[in-house]
Amino acid sequence: MMAKFIKTIQTSKVAQIILFFVYVLVTTTALSTSQKSVISFLLLLLSLLILYYMNLGNKLKWIIALLILGVILPLSASQGDSYQAYMEVATMVGIYVCMALGLNIVVGLAGLLDLGFVAFFAVGAYTYGIFASAQANNFMPFGSYPLSGKSFWIFIIIGLFVAALFGVLLGIPVLRVKGDYLAIVTLGFGEIIRIVFNNLDKPVNITNGAMGLASIRQPEIFGITLSQPNQFYYVVLLMFIIVIYAVTRMEHTKLGRSWKAVRENEIAAQAMGIPLVKTKLTAFAIGASFSGMMGVVFAAKQMFIDPTSFTYLESTTILVMVILGGMGSVPGVILGAAVVTILNLQVLTELTGWLSQVTTIPDALSPAKMQRLIFGALLIIMTLYRPQGLIPAKNKQFNAKKLKESTAEKQ
């Protein structure tokens, strides 16, 4: 009886859709009716993973996913008190997903281990932060600062290009080394950027040093100032769509193939006419540009940035997202980024809150403080039991029949 039921679900599209619909409905209702409903919020997000595994066309899946993300999730979360808290988490997930997708190009596709990826995030954040706060008055000979919130939209593009430029600048000296050595040099670069930002308050005050940049202007569109997480959520959602579109397009074209070729075998790739340095630099630049873009959003959302937001731990966290999800796998990396961010921002803090209510635990033992321990354990478990990640990378499957017909015609 049970087996037959499962079989029906596996084969019938209609059954799948109905079940999925019921699932979304139940989690949505739970989310909108109960006050504290972290679990239903997470279950609703889980529906996207279920959707990924459903036997539907790609276009339909995207439409449903965007419907859930764009309408159902914000709408049902808006009923409770913790609306903004949920949207804050969802926004951070979006930011990290985009960054992880950028790192995935460098590490997953081009096979270049980068341990200083957060540097590009910092570059993007500071690019906006300096000019959208009074900071730029300290060294700019012309213009008056802060720039208005309208400039945010242009700064997304500027942040993209500045980060890409830094990617190239880093790449030129660094790409002479490979493997472990590359990892060490990029780690160094990440730290250098942070320390430079930390000390660039003398002789000319550019970054305001360890004090950080405060009261960064919030974005403005059609006269509305974006200040709440639910507003930023839509900005991030839009960027997510752009990033994912770009990534999936690039992966299966000349550029994506040359990255994979370089990853698999440098000598053979060169013999096929692929210029090694240029290909690696493009990977660095494009990966960095995503990160820079998100840096701009981050600065605008936080309104305050300082060098401590861009430590080595951040780079590792993004790398963990990529490795956990599956190197080179776009759905995997999205899942990895979501899991790590939610674990970080929601599950661990909720757990800490709950534990402190039930029992009295010393502060040092609270789950929120054990972030590194948990990530470390997670990484060890993954490398031992599932090195290919949660959703392993899949190769594009070509339609053999169609290709066969096309060649038969020609002859």
Partner 1 sequence: MNVLEVKGLTKSFGGLVANSNIDMSVEKNSITAVIGPNGAGKTTFFNMITGVYKPTSGDILLGGEPIGGLKPHAVAKRGISRTFQNIRLFNEVTVLENVMVGMHNHLRGSLIGTLLQLPKSKREEEKAMKEAYRLLEYVGLSEFLNEKASNLSYGAQRRLEIARALATRPSILLLDEPAAGMNPKETKLLTDLIKDMCEKYDLTIILIEHDMKLVMEISKHIIVLDHGEKIAEGGPEDIRSNPKVIEAYLGKGAVSLG
Q: Which residue from 31, 90, 237, 269 is in contact with partner 1, where contact means CB under 8 A? A: 269
β-strand partners of 305: 213
Asked if residue 403 binds partner 1 (CB under 8 A), the reply is yes
Asked if residue 271 binds partner 1 (CB under 8 A), the reply is yes
User: CA-CA distance, 135 to 28, in Å (whole number)?
Assistant: 44
Burial class of residue 133, CB neighbours in 10 A (0-12, 13-18, 19+) = buried
Applying CB under 8 A, the span of 94-102, 255-263, 292-300, 366-374 interacting with partner 1 comes to 255-263
Q: Among the residues of 54-178, which ranges form H helices?
A: 58-67, 73-77, 83-103, 118-131, 151-174
150: left (phi over 0), alpha (psi -120 to 50) or beta: alpha
Q: Which residue from 19, 134, 246, 347 is in contact with partner 1, where contact means CB under 8 A? A: 246
CB 287, min distance to partner 1, A = 14
Asked if residue 19 binds partner 1 (CB under 8 A), the reply is no
Tokens encoding 284:
């660095």
Q: Which residue from 9, 17, 255, 370 is in contact with partner 1, where contact means CB under 8 A? A: 255
Query: In terms of CB distance, is 12 or 406 closer to partner 1?
Result: 406
Asked if residue 150 binds partner 1 (CB under 8 A), the reply is no
Write out the binding residues for partner 1, residues 322-341 only, by CB under 8 A.
none
Q: What is the CA radius of gyration of the chain?
A: 23
Asked if residue 398 binds partner 1 (CB under 8 A), the reply is yes
Do 147 and 217 touch, CB atoms closer than 8 A?
A: yes
Query: In terms of CB distance, is 289 or 309 closer to partner 1?
Result: 289
Nearest to 128 by CA among 297, 291, 308, 289: 297
Query: In terms of CB distance, is 29 or 265 closer to partner 1?
Result: 265
Asked if residue 165 binds partner 1 (CB under 8 A), the reply is no
Asked if residue 257 binds partner 1 (CB under 8 A), the reply is yes
Tokens encoding 10:
């596996």
CB 403, min distance to partner 1, A = 4
How many residues bind partner 1 (CB under 8 A)? The answer is: 34
Q: What are the DSSP calls for 294-360, one per residue?
A: HHHHHHHHHS-B-GGGG-HHHHHHHHHHHHHH-TT-HHHHHHHHHHHHHIIIIIHHHHHHHHHHHS-
CB 57, min distance to partner 1, A = 18
User: CA-CA distance, 298 to 126, in Å (whole number)?
Assistant: 10
Asked if residue 258 binds partner 1 (CB under 8 A), the reply is yes
Query: In terms of CB distance, is 57 or 275 closer to partner 1?
Result: 275
Asked if residue 270 binds partner 1 (CB under 8 A), the reply is yes
Query: In terms of CB distance, is 6 or 400 closer to partner 1?
Result: 400
Q: What are the DSSP calls for 205-267, one per residue?
A: -SS-GGG-B-SPPPPEETTEEP-SHHHHHHHHHHHHHHHHHHHHHHHTSHHHHHHHHHHH-HH
Asked if residue 58 binds partner 1 (CB under 8 A), the reply is no
Site string for partner 1, 205-244 (x = CB under 8 A): ----------------------------------------
Asked if residue 267 binds partner 1 (CB under 8 A), the reply is yes
Query: In terms of CB distance, is 245 or 354 closer to partner 1?
Result: 245
User: CA-CA distance, 182 to 171, in Å (whole number)?
Assistant: 10
Between helix 371-385 and helix 312-325 the angle, nearest 10°, is 30
CB 103, min distance to partner 1, A = 19
Q: Which residue from 194, 217, 260, 280 is in contact with partner 1, where contact means CB under 8 A? A: 260
Asked if residue 351 binds partner 1 (CB under 8 A), the reply is no
Say which DSSP state 148 is in: P
Asked if residue 265 binds partner 1 (CB under 8 A), the reply is yes
Tokens encoding 354:
């709950």
Query: In terms of CB distance, is 40 or 329 closer to partner 1?
Result: 329
β-strand partners of 224: 221
CB 404, min distance to partner 1, A = 7
Q: Which residue from 203, 223, 273, 362 is in contact with partner 1, where contact means CB under 8 A? A: 273
Burial class of residue 318, CB neighbours in 10 A (0-12, 13-18, 19+) = buried
In the complex, the residues that contact partner 1 under the rule CB under 8 A are 245-246, 249-250, 253-255, 257-258, 260-261, 264-265, 267-276, 393, 395-398, 400, 403-404, 406-407, 410
